[in-house]
Amino acid sequence: MKYIIAGIGTEIGKTFVSSILTEALEADYWKPIQSGALDFTDTDMVRSLISTNKTVFHPETYRLSEPMSPHAAAEIDGVEIELSKFELPKTNNHLIVEMAGGIMVPLNNRETNLDLIKKLNIPVILVSKNYLGSINHTLLSVEILKLNNINIKGIIFNGQQNISSEDFILNYTKLDFLGRIDFEQNLDKNVVKKYAVKFRGNKI
Q: How far is CA 192 from CA 75, 80, 141, 164, in A?
A: 35, 35, 26, 26
Q: How far is CA 43 from CA 37, 143, 167, in A?
A: 11, 29, 32
- Please state the φ and ψ torsions of residue 151, each to the nearest 5 degrees: -75, 115
What sign does the dihedral 161-164-167-170 (CA atoms) show?
Answer: negative
User: Distance between CA atoms of 106 and 115, rounded to whole angstroms?
Assistant: 9
> Quick one: which of 140, 145, 75, 147 has its CA closest to 116?
145
The catalytic site residues sit at 31
